[in-house]
Amino acid sequence: MSDILRMSFAIDPSDHCGATRAGHHRARRPGRARRVLPPLLIVALAGCQGRQSVLNPIGEDAVDLATLFWVMLGGAVVLWLLVTGLFIYVTRFRTAEMSRRWAEALIIGGGVVFPATVLAGLLAYSLPLMATQRMAGDGLVVHVTGEQWWWRVVYETPEGARVVSANEIRLPVGERTAFRLTTNQMIHSFWIPALGGKTDMIPGRENVMSLKPIETGVFRGQCAEFCGASHALMAFEVEAMAPEAFEAWLDREAQDAVPPASAAAERGAAIFAAEGCGACHTVRGTDAIGRVGPDLTHVGSRHSIGAGILPNQVEAIADWIQRTEHLKPEVDMPQYDHLSREALLDLGHYLKGLE
């Protein structure tokens, strides 16, 4: 349940979903519905769109987990029907006292032998599923470090090249990619529900997992371990790409930044330099060399900004720079509310242009 709750936090407020509106409307009715509907609403919300849903598996591991879920659910339904049926039978149809022999057989058989057999069977079925998530990758290794509240991402190719990125994961379809997960300060948990299970990130440790997408698509990942004020605002976009497209993207991601040419972007680049943004952010190929915040060399080509919380658009970038502390409480990035709106939009044009 707690995982479902966490997931409900992570739902992008911009997602449109009929169930949300209907649920809200019905939840206003007084009485029993008020108590019953919120949990249902959460379940309904979590299923919306399926961008961040374990029930919409796009990865080999997620398919296993979804199957496990349905098997468990089916078993639970059967058991519930059996127990309820038995209850009704002994209270309504066969109310006479049971012989001692029958009663003992029922307690030992139904209370010990039957559950032990069922649980042993489930264990034998489910335990091997954990092994695949820890399988070695096919070559590509993605190092992800949890930060307050964003993701430092480094792709390591089989040839040993390292490509620095942030707040987005791209993976080749049909290949198993290894993940090496760690963090510096706080415990986080790395979770892409559509691709597989989650793995905690623990300071001073490197946890290993692997994922294998089987279809292309764009999904959402989310930190799944409470890590402070902006835990719910620590998300990322995931794109599973055809292998050739992924190779091309990684080659491009490895290149230095290409300075955008528009007049607004050029003004933005000058403001970026003058405000000292490069003390915390790297834009490879420029004087910006900092490592405190996300690498921005190709920020313009990402699906989102602010670690999965805003669309990657000029206006949104300007809003983010102006009001970081409102949009992501306690974030390390200071807000540049001393800049004019024009200057902020110029910065937006520059960063959006870094593709």
Partner 1 sequence: MRYVLLTLAALAALGLVGAGAVVGLGLYNVSARAGHWPGVPWVLHTTYNQSVRLRAPSEGEVPDLSAPGLAELGAGHFESACVFCHATPDTMQTATATGMKPRPPHVTDTMEHWEPRHLHWILQEGVKMSGMPQWPAARADEPWAVVAYLERVRAGTAPDVAPPTELPADAPEALAYCATCHNIDGRSDWPQVPRLDILDGDYMTSALSAYRDGIRGSGFMQHAATAVPEPALAELAAWFAAQDAAGPGLGGDAALVEAGEELARQGTGEIPACIVCHGPGAREDKPAMPDLAGQHATYLRTQLHLWRDDGRGGGTRANLMVKAAQDLADSDIDALAAWYASLPPGGN
Binding site for partner 1 (CB under 8 A): 147, 152, 184, 270, 273-276, 278-280, 287-292, 332-336, 338
Which residue number, 52 or 182, has a Cβ lying nearer to partner 1? 182
Beta strands in the chain (DSSP E): 141-147, 150-156, 162-166, 168-172, 177-183, 188-191, 199-201, 207-211, 217-223, 235-241, 304-305, 310-311
Q: How far is the CB of 274 from partner 1 (least distance, A)?
A: 5
Write the CA distances from 214 to 63, 142, 175, 217, integer angstroms: 10, 18, 8, 10
Which residue's CB is nearer to partner 1, number 235 or number 277?
277
Neighbour-count burial of 116, counting CB atoms closer than 10 A to its CB (0-12 exposed, 13-18 middle, 19+ buried): exposed
Q: How far apart are CA 55 and CA 66, in angstroms?
A: 6
Shortest Å distance, C-beta 287 to partner 1: 7
Output 248 or 292, the one with its CB closest to partner 1: 292
Find the shortest distance in angstroms from Cβ 281 to partner 1. Answer: 9
Nearer to partner 1 by Cβ, of 35 and 338: the residue is 338
- Which one, of 51, 55, 52, lies nearest residue 69 by Cα? 55
Residues contacting residue 176 through CB under 8 Å, at least 6 positions apart? 60, 135, 136, 137, 138, 210, 211, 212
Contacting residues for 282 by C-beta, under 8 A, at least 6 apart: 164, 288, 289, 290, 291, 295, 296, 297
* Minimum CB distance to partner 1 smaller for 131 or for 263: 263
Q: Which residues contact 104 (CB under 8 A, 6 or more apart)?
A: none
CA-CA distance, 204 to 179, in Å (whole number)? 16
**Gap between the Cα atoms of 245 and 257, Å rounded:** 19
- Work out how close the CB of 267 gets to partner 1 at its nearest, in angstroms, rounded to a whole number: 12
Report in angstroms how near the CB of residue 196 gets to partner 1 at its nearest. 27
Q: How far is the CB of 38 from partner 1 (least distance, A)?
A: 39
Nearer to partner 1, 117 or 184 (CB): 184
Compare residues 42 and 331 and give the one whose CB is closer to partner 1: 331
Q: What's the min distance (Å) between Cβ of 308 and partner 1?
A: 20
Q: Which is nearer to partner 1, 97 or 287 (CB)?
A: 287
Contact call for residues 221 and 192 (beta carbons, < 8 A)? yes
Cα 89 from chain centre: 46
**Residue 200 or residue 275: which is nearer to partner 1 going by CB?**
275
Residue 9, sorted as left (phi over 0), alpha (psi -120 to 50) or beta, turns out to be alpha
Please check whether residue 136 is in contact with residue 210, taking contact to mean a CB–CB distance below 8 angstroms. yes
Provide the minimum distance between the beta carbon of 334 and partner 1 in the complex, in angstroms, as a whole number: 4
The distance of closest approach from Cβ of residue 244 to partner 1 in the complex, given in angstroms and rounded to an integer, is: 34
